[in-house]
Chain A
Amino acid sequence: MKIKNIKIFKWINNSTKKTILCLFFIMISYLNSHGQLVFRSIWINSANKDWSVTPSITEAGEDYQVQESASDQMKISVAVPLTSQSKISVHHTGGTTWNENLQLSIRRTSSGVGLLCAGCEISGGISYIPIGTTASQFFTVKILLELFGFNDINLQLKLQGASVTLPAKQYSTTVYYTISSL
């Protein structure tokens, strides 16, 4: 079926048809690997979005050690518009289920997998940065031309400040990863 035979296009001139086709291909280029149209998007692999830790003490007189997750504990992916730069910020909610003496840090241990990526660059975040209750910049991504963004960027977490001097209970917090223009 030729496009000129579609009834709806009969009253469109050739110049407009070309414009529509261009728009269509531009939008196709914004589809991520999940077939979703994205302008600036970040998502986390559902199988790797949580970290639970149960520290232990074996010697009398000692306190809990610093806890460090697996180097690929969390995997996030980002998609950004072509020829754009974006920053990924991180913060956590804290609140009543947390204790201010517990200090979370995070670092990026891989660059993720980019397919058909030209002029793509990911930088920053390879050393631990503290995760506070206000957003702070984690790393940046820059893309000139690509289809699928940066997939499965490995993240590692570190927890300091766990101590027997804190009330014995379960502590939890939600970590937010936000992508925005640089």
Chain B
Amino acid sequence: MLRNTRDGYGLVAIAFHWTIAALFVVQAGLGWRMSDMEDSLLKFSLYQWHKSFGLLILVLALMRLGWRLANPVPALPDTLRPWEKRAARATHYLLYGGLIIVPLFGWAVVSASPLDVPTLAFYLVYVPHLPVPVGEAAEATFAAIHGTLATIVAAVALLHIAAALRHHFWLGDDVLRRMLRPLAARRRPADSPAREGAPLD
């Protein structure tokens, strides 16, 4: 139930997936909205929340990577052609990588900024700066990389969503469903003797 099998995702992987997905949506919205705001108290607050959510995503993404390495990866449906499997795997690698690298570049922006604004994640946890060169130029460079990579990750995420919807509605396989409920939970009605005649998948 908690761990993955070759056939489906466990509860932990599913929780990681949707928690990070929700955080990423909030984070992208914040990042997009706050960057062109006028200097104000609201802008300052939004930056602090963006930093907090970004660090949370980084921590969760690293934990998620560890969990993935320690678990079997559910196989893709055999109905997929090799290029589709390769594309799916590449998308997943890009998302994993992006969810770690984008927050790191965000952290570098904060650390390089001559404004030297300290980080207190969620107003609770003090997070020191990264050892990067400090200055307007370094800050601008890191910010450009951070923004570009974030945009790429958002585009890959859209591709990932489109692919999931294609699997569900067009190809009719269980690729989306298995990220919604653990395999055991999906199997239960079928396994139950009370529901005779239910197809055993």
**A associates with B:** no
Interface residues of A (CB under 8 A from B): none
